[in-house]
Amino acid sequence: MRRIFIGDLHLQDERPDITEGFIRFIREECLRCDELYILGDLFEAWIGDDERADLSERVAWELQRLRRPGKFFIRGNRDFLIGKDFCALAGLTLLPDISEVRLGRSSAVILHGDLLCTADKKYQKYRRTVSNPFLQKCFLALPLSIRKRIASGMRKKSRSENSVKPLELMEVSDSEVLRIMTARQCSVMIHGHTHRPLIRDYNTEIFQANSLYLPARRYVVGAWDKEFKYVRADGDEVKLITARLDGRYAL
Ligand SMILES: [Mn+2]
């Protein structure tokens, strides 16, 4: 069983090269896998499934016609408003923010990754507010033009805040990582969000549901640019792979 994990594509009209690269990736790399997991921030921005944009319709169509692999989606902090309608259109199964997947002998907990940046109290508070289902419903009930204005105002604010934010605030908290892995009985964690791909080994063994103690290991997928990194798992053999938008894969 081959599974592919990607995230942080940040698809947008300004980067048609990434959209084309993603479509090539779907048509080539994903044809050879059984399950595709998109770990959030597939789109740079999302203000509701009812916004019929050429970009999202094309992506949905390309994903939809990909018959073979099962396709799963976890929302990111950019596209947390993606809902049932878009997922149905794209043939994606929408997963909870923190989910689990069996990889052979080991179990992996998968998430976008913003939940792990616990040092950034202000962001976590903002996240709790915007994930409130009632507030989301109110926002989605606004006319599209007003939603667009609000979203672009928020993006500007976040850009100026992130440029002055100390780096440690955007770091993943290792204690939160191990807390979640222990609670979920998963020795593997796969996420994105930080745009800093890596493999991190911990000096801790995690007790798994299958009664095996396995060393904790965390994989971070990279953001998409001319080059990007994604995770490929064949059974419990997990690798961080470097790929290029033009399809010429590096080793
Ligand atoms: Mn993100």
Does residue 141 carry a pLDDT above 70? yes
250 domain-assigned: no
| Cα 213 to ligand 1 centroid, rounded to whole Å | 31
CB 9 within 8 A of CB 224: yes
| Cα 73 to ligand 1 centroid, rounded to whole Å | 14
Tens-digit pLDDT profile for residues 190-212: 999 999 999 999 999 999 999 99
Confidence of residue 247 (pLDDT cuts 50, 70, 90): confident
The token pair at 145 is 């033009």
Which pLDDT score, from 0 to 100, does residue 129 have?
93
Tell me the mean pLDDT in the region 91-112: 97
Confidence of residue 31 (pLDDT cuts 50, 70, 90): confident
Which pLDDT score, from 0 to 100, does residue 32 have?
86
Tell me the mean pLDDT in the region 4-16: 97
| Cα 6 to ligand 1 centroid, rounded to whole Å | 12
Task: Give me the residues near ligand 1 (ion), CB cutoff below 5 Å.
Answer: 41, 76-77, 193
| Cα 231 to ligand 1 centroid, rounded to whole Å | 17
The domain tally of the chain equals 1
Residue 200: other Cβ atoms inside 10 A: 13
| Enclosing domain of residue 171 | 2-245
Look at residues 223, 243, 155, 194 and name the one whose alpha carbon lies nearest to residue 8: 223
Which pLDDT score, from 0 to 100, does residue 131 have?
92
Mean per-residue pLDDT of the chain:
93
DSSP structure class, residue 142: S
| Cα 132 to ligand 1 centroid, rounded to whole Å | 18
Which pLDDT score, from 0 to 100, does residue 250 have?
54
Does residue 26 carry a pLDDT above 80? yes
State the CATH number of the domain containing residue 142: 3.60.21.10
251 domain-assigned: no
171 domain-assigned: yes
Q: How far is Cα 20 from Cα 23, in angstroms, rounded to an integer?
A: 5
Assessment of whether the complete model's pTM goes beyond 0.75: yes
Confidence of residue 217 (pLDDT cuts 50, 70, 90): very high
| Cα 9 to ligand 1 centroid, rounded to whole Å | 10
| Cα 98 to ligand 1 centroid, rounded to whole Å | 14
